[in-house]
Chain A
């Protein structure tokens, strides 16, 4: 699948507000929302729907759109700090549209690849030659852990909030 990547702009807010990266809450017969089977996905979707691009100087909010301008992948990177020749960049969010599921992780791989390139850009902007990219993942989120493993990340241990801490150093 070919995707077109760009930074999110102010007018993209409606795309984010309509973005679906998870199924709806399970509801009872009366339509009341009950539990969500994958709460980590619902939290991420809620977070993205509330975003108001454009991003600040230390951030990138990237959108991947298909040929019909449908939003298929979203990622957000934030530069935390630069220490010597390395900048620490946190992968704040990475989400794939429910319409891109079932394709062997192809869109997810493309979204992460773009996110890593932008992380390197964020590093270079401060004169750093390398980017240390970190991501905090819900331990139940097997899809994200598989994605990060395919990209070469390794798990450092636990992050605050019961999340898993994944990291990689990106060299130019």
Chain B
């Protein structure tokens, strides 16, 4: 969701593909929502899944704000959520394979994720130096699963939010251009706007259609990782070349800058800063040296 456009295309060297996949690492709440979208995620439900051997311990990251410990977070490979969806659909074998893939992803990247997650938000995941490797491992698990293909309506982008309808253009697992109209409230509740990229997932539970919108992220993968959610060239539904498209990019860039580099420090940060000042840990410089 953080990158409005593909990160790689038409570069020299071996052929690369752009891939749009669900954000590879998610919070524990997202795994529980995948397991049962109708119930609130609770720590008790999390414990139950773990006790039943259906979920790992995840990647634990102590949260640090301004250098100070401020609790901890538990994060999981997004593949756990997919394993839960498939288990709920009665696709036990497919779910088991995805759970094994999720364990492998966490085993490979957990130690590198911990320091990143201690200081940063998942919104910035694409900035880590091992992101393409992480995305590739996640994409491999998703690409292998027939159950995933059966549940996904489209990988695409929000192209319009008008009145009560949010319109999503994308590509279906059958690799056809697809348009999905959803309640605008659903998209807005997730903090998504025009230009944000998503996977739309649909299940039928007790005769009702349950639709999930998952934040998706662009990645660059090898030709050998080709799947229904990879493209050799930018998909047709990516923002059109126009002044409006440039404005969307500019607005997204400005908003991100305001949230990050231009954000106001919080109280914990200020306390740490003033503590460093009092301890003489900051360099001093005379602005206008005499003479």
Contact = CB atoms under 8 A, between A and B. Distances in A.
Interface residues of B, number: 57
A80 B265 contact: yes
Contacts of B7: 34-35
A170 B265 contact: no
Given A160-B263, A171-B287, A83 B274 contact: yes
B234 A167 contact: no
Given A32-B241, A44-B261, A162 B250 contact: no
Contacts of A140: 127
A93 interface: yes
Nearest to A37: B7
B5 A35 contact: yes
B270 A80 contact: yes
Interface stretch (B73-81, B83-91, B114-122, B163-171): B114-122
A33 B241 contact: yes
B283 A136 contact: no
Contacts of B277: 86, 132, 169
A170 B3 CA distance: 38
A137 interface: yes
A157 B69 CA distance: 14
Interface in B232-291: 233-234, 238-241, 245-246, 249-254, 256-266, 269-270, 273-274, 276-277, 281-288
A161 B263 contact: yes
Contacts of B10: 28-29
Contacts of B254: 43, 46-47, 49-50
Interface in B121-171: 121, 124, 127
Per DSSP, are chain A's interface residues mostly helix, strand or loop, or mixed? mixed
A46 B3 contact: no
B239 A32 contact: yes
Contact of A162 (B124, B257, B287): B124
B253 A47 contact: yes
B9 interface: yes
B253 A42 contact: yes
B284 A136 contact: no
Interface of B: 3, 5-10, 64-67, 116, 119-121, 124, 127, 218, 233-234, 238-241, 245-246, 249-254, 256-266, 269-270, 273-274, 276-277, 281-288
25 contacts: A28-B10, A32-B239, A33-B249, A34-B5, A35-B3, A35-B9, A43-B254, A43-B256, A43-B257, A46-B251, A47-B258, A80-B270, A83-B274, A116-B287, A132-B273, A136-B263, A153-B283, A156-B282, A158-B119, A159-B269, A160-B65, A163-B260, A163-B261, A167-B282, A167-B283
Interface of A: 25, 27-35, 39-40, 42-47, 49-50, 80-81, 83, 86, 88, 90, 92-93, 116-117, 120, 132, 134, 136-138, 140, 151-154, 156-163, 167-172
Q: 6 closest A-B pairs (Cβ-Cβ)?
A: A46-B253, A31-B241, A162-B120, A161-B260, A46-B254, A47-B257
